[in-house]
Amino acid sequence: MLRERVERFVLRQYWRTIFRMARKRKELDIRIGYLLPSNEHDHLYRRIGQALALLQRYDPRALTRMRALSDGILVLGTTGALAEWHGDARLIRVSEQHAADEAVSDLQLAATLVHETTHAWLEHYGIRARYRDGVERRARVEAVCYRSEAAFLRRTPDGEVLARDLECLAAWALEEPESKWSKEAANGRRADALRELGVPEWLIRRATSIAGTADTRSAA
C-alpha cells in the first residue's frame, strides 16, 4: 500500500509538471494545454474549443462536471488510447492524433470528452476501473462511459447514428474476452505512449506496475 501511494504520487507530480510546462489557453473556463512545439497549436486549440462549445450547448451538465472534477485538458501523444482520465493528476489527456484528425468530427471529439468526464464523475463517487477490482467491473465502467457518450450524442441534431455505434461499443465492452481488459494489455499500451513522450524506462516500469492509474477511451 505504501509503495502504491509513493508511485501514484510520482506519477501525479510527473503529469502535473507536464501540464504546468504546457502552453495553455482557456475555453469556457477549461484550461487546454499543449506541450511540444508545433504549427498545429491554433488548430488543436480550436478543435478542443469547438468540442467544448458543443458540450455547453447540448450537455452543460458534462461541462459543469469537467470544470468541477478536472484541472484541464492536456493534448499530448499519438500512441496508446485516444484519451485518458488521469484521476490522481485531475487531468484529461487527449491524443494529439485524435484531436488533429480531420476524419474525427467535432461531435466525436466532444463525445470523447464526455467519456473521460464520466470516468472522473464515477471516480468522484468511488467507482474506479482499477485492475484489482476485476475484469467485470472494468468492463461495466467502460460500458457506462460509452453509454454516456451515446446519451450526449442523442441530444444533438446529427448524433443518432454515432449514438447507435456507441451503444454497440458498450455491448462490446461487456462481451470482450478478459484479455482485452487485462493489466498486461493496458500496460503495454501505456508503456508505448510513455516511451513516445521520452519518459525514462525506470518511470515507465513504475507506471505500469500501478493497478489502474488512468481510465482510457480506446479506439475500439
Rank 26-40, 60-74, 94-108 by mean pLDDT and report only the highest. 60-74
Average pLDDT estimate for 41-59: 94
Whether 43 shows a pLDDT value over 80: the answer reads yes
CA 146 – CA 173 distance, rounded (Å): 9
Q: Which of 21-25, 149-153, 170-174, 178-182 has the lowest average pLDDT?
A: 178-182
Whether 143 shows a pLDDT value over 50: the answer reads yes
Whether 210 shows a pLDDT value over 80: the answer reads no
Whether 118 shows a pLDDT value over 50: the answer reads yes
Model pLDDT, residue 127: 75
Q: Supply φ then ψ for residue 156, to 5 degrees.
A: -100, 160
CA 104 – CA 207 distance, rounded (Å): 29
Residue 47 sits in a domain whose CATH number is: 1.10.390
- Predicted TM-score (pTM) of this structure: 0.81
Number of domains in the chain: 1
Rank 44-48, 174-178, 213-217 by mean pLDDT and report only the highest. 44-48
b (16+ CB within 10 A) / e for 176-198? eeeebbebeebbebbbebbeebe
**Band of pLDDT at residue 8, cut at 50, 70 and 90:** confident
Cell of 10: 510520482
CA 114 – CA 118 distance, rounded (Å): 6
Domain that holds residue 201: 2-217
Whether 212 shows a pLDDT value over 50: the answer reads no
C-alpha radius of gyration, the chain, whole number: 16
Cell of 61: 451538465
Q: Are 72 and 19 in contact (CB under 8 A)?
A: yes
